[in-house]
C-alpha cells in the first residue's frame, strides 16, 4: 500500500494535467469557433451592405437620366419617363430582397442611415415622376441623396470597423460652353 501512496501524488498530477490540457483545448476551440463565426457574419454583413447600396445606386442612376430628360440634370443619356418606368420597376423589385437582408443583418445605425438614404432617393423619383422642371430644386434633392449615401457609408464603415473612406464627391471638370 505504501508504494501506491507514494505514487498517488504523481497519479493525481497526471489526472490534473490531462484535465487541464483538455480544458485548454476545449476553450481554445470555442474561442476559435467564435472568431470564425464573427468573421463569417462580418463578411455576410459587408456583402449585404454593398449589395443594397449597389441596388439603390441603380435606382439613383435612372432618376438622373429621367431628370436629364426634363433638363434638371446634365446626365449625357436622358431617358423619358415612359422608357424609365419598366426599368424603375425592375430595379425596385431587385432591391427589395437586399433591403430585407439589410434589415435582418444590419446594425440599427446602418439600417437607420439606409432608411434616410432611400427616403431621399424616393423623393428624387417622385420629383421626376411628376415631370418637374426645376434644376435648382433637383440640386437640393441631389445634395440630400449624396448626404444620405455618405451617412450610410459612414455607418457601414463604423459597424465593420473600417477606416474612414472617401466622400465620393468628385468635382466634375468644366466643359467648354457650360
* End-to-end Cα distance, the chain: 105
Residue pair 70/135 in contact (Cβ under 8 Å)? The answer is no
Contact 113, 152 (CB under 8 A): yes
State pLDDT tens for residues 31-63: 787 777 777 888 999 999 999 999 999 999 999
SS (H, E, C) the chain: CHHHHHHHHHHHHHHHHHHHHHHHHHHHHHHHHHHHHHHHHHHHHHHHHHHHHHHHHHHHHHHHHHHHHCCCCCCCCCCCHHHHHHHHHHHHHHHHHHHHHHHHHCCHHHHHHHHHHHHHHHHHHHHHHCCCCCHHHHHHHHHHHHHHHHHHHHHHHHHCCCCCCCCCCCCCCCCCCC
75 and 67 in contact (C-beta within 8 Å)? yes
The pLDDT value recorded for residue 1 is: 65
Q: Is the pLDDT of residue 178 over 60?
A: no
Task: Give pLDDT tens digits for 141-169.
Answer: 999 999 999 999 999 999 999 888 776 66
- State how far Cα 97 lies from the chain centre: 13
Grid look-up 508504494 returns: 3
Amino acid at each position: 500500500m505504501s508504494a501506491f501512496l507514494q505514487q498517488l501524488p504523481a497519479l493525481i498530477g497526471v489526472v490534473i494535467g490531462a484535465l487541464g490540457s483538455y480544458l485548454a483545448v476545449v476553450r481554445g476551440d470555442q474561442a476559435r469557433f467564435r472568431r470564425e463565426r464573427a468573421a463569417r457574419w462580418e463578411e455576410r454583413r459587408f456583402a449585404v451592405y454593398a449589395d443594397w447600396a449597389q441596388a439603390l445606386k441603380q435606382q439613383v442612376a435612372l432618376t438622373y437620366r429621367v431628370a436629364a430628360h426634363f433638363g434638371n440634370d446634365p446626365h449625357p443619356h436622358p431617358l423619358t419617363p415612359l422608357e424609365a418606368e419598366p426599368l424603375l420597376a425592375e430595379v425596385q423589385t431587385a432591391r427589395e430582397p437586399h433591403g430585407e437582408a439589410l434589415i435582418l443583418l444590419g446594425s440599427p445605425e446602418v439600417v437607420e442611415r439606409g432608411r434616410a438614404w432611400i427616403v431621399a432617393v424616393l423623393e428624387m423619383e417622385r420629383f421626376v415622376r411628376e415631370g418637374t422642371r426645376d434644376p435648382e430644386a433637383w440640386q437640393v434633392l441631389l445634395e440630400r441623396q449624396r448626404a444620405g449615401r455618405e451617412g450610410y457609408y459612414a455607418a457601414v464603415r463604423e459597424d465593420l470597423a473600417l477606416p474612414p473612406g472617401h466622400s465620393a464627391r468628385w468635382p466634375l471638370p468644366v466643359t467648354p460652353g457650360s
